[in-house]
Amino acid sequence: MHPIVHGFFDPATNTVSYVVHDPATRMAAIIDPVLDFTPNNGRTGTASADALLAHVRDHGLTVQWLLETHAHADHLSAAHWLRGRTGAPIVIGGHIADVQQIFAPLFGADDVTPDGSVFDRLVSNGDTLPLGDLTIDVIHTPGHTPACVSYHVGDALFVGDTLFMPDYGTARADFPGGDAAMLYRSIRRLLALPPETRMFVGHDYLPSSRADHAFETTVGDQRAHNIHVHDGVGEADFVAMRTARDARLDAPRLILPSLQVNIRAGAMPPPSPTGQVYLRIPLNAI
């Protein structure tokens, strides 16, 4: 089965959101939507999410699901906003509760019950969701975060931050709850799929060898060419590489705004008594 996939690249965060649909029934899912956020003035916007809805409207699609691959640390999610426009439920891996337990206290998010209940559907490895005449298979792929899942729809695989393009490599594994060995095992599980499987990544950061952004590859290309985890790279070598590389990385620029929104399924914190909404920046905490 060959679903139709359209990617939408957000240059501010290097994030790729997707609309995938069943060509027979025109039922669609939106994956990892971005809420625009300008940190220097605290303004939010919906231009990126509006582009997804325009695509849905222009192609006569019905949004059946809003799928999150994980609680992102590099952009705010537009899932809450899109749920209000489409009525589609928000789906995320059930281990989001682990992420909420870690981060809700950091932000004093007393409104967040750390059980994932703010999301509409929690999924686990092996779960399935219908997409018209197609089926979305859920693969638990922890390592980047404990809650990461990948979505396999026909011959298309959406891997979030687990893998990037072959010339860029793999996700970091140093966030709370992350684990490089677990990431390696998750990746090998994905790379066991048929080599012709189309793989759609959650970000693209340009390496020096490439001038244009790209976000579609294949399982076979990853196995042959991924600079971090091609066939022949063992777990111990991968963990050593990933650990050393992660130790040199800065925290993502939007990690503090993003996580306190994304553990709320893309909703903002409750307003203050004056009606103003605030994001909290804990000092010297990470």
The pair of three-digit structure tokens given for residue 55, joined into one six-digit string: 């695509």
Model pTM score? 0.97
Total Cβ atoms within 10 A of residue 276: 7
By mean pLDDT, which of 10-14, 140-144, 209-213 is the weakest? Answer: 209-213
pLDDT of residue 286: 79
What does the mean pLDDT of the chain come to? Answer: 97
The CATH number of domain 4-262, selected from 3.40.640.10, 3.30.300.30, 3.60.15.10, 3.30.1490.270: 3.60.15.10
Cα(33)–Cα(211) distance, integer angstroms: 25
Q: Is the pLDDT at 242 greater than 90, yes or no?
A: yes
27 exposed, middle or buried (CB, 10 Å; 0-12, 13-18, 19+)?
Answer: buried
Over residues 30-74, the pLDDT tens digits come to 999 999 999 999 999 999 999 999 999 999 999 999 999 999 999
What are the boundaries of each domain within the chain? Answer: 4-262
The candidate with the shortest Cα–Cα distance to 176, out of 263, 68, 276, is: 263
Q: Give the residue-averaged pLDDT of 248-275.
A: 96
Over residues 103-130, the pLDDT tens digits come to 999 999 999 999 999 999 999 999 999 9
Q: Are 96 and 114 in contact (CB under 8 A)?
A: no
The percent of residues above 90 in pLDDT, for the chain, comes to: 98
Over residues 145-168, the pLDDT tens digits come to 999 999 999 999 999 999 999 999
Cα(236)–Cα(118) distance, integer angstroms: 38
pLDDT of residue 208: 86
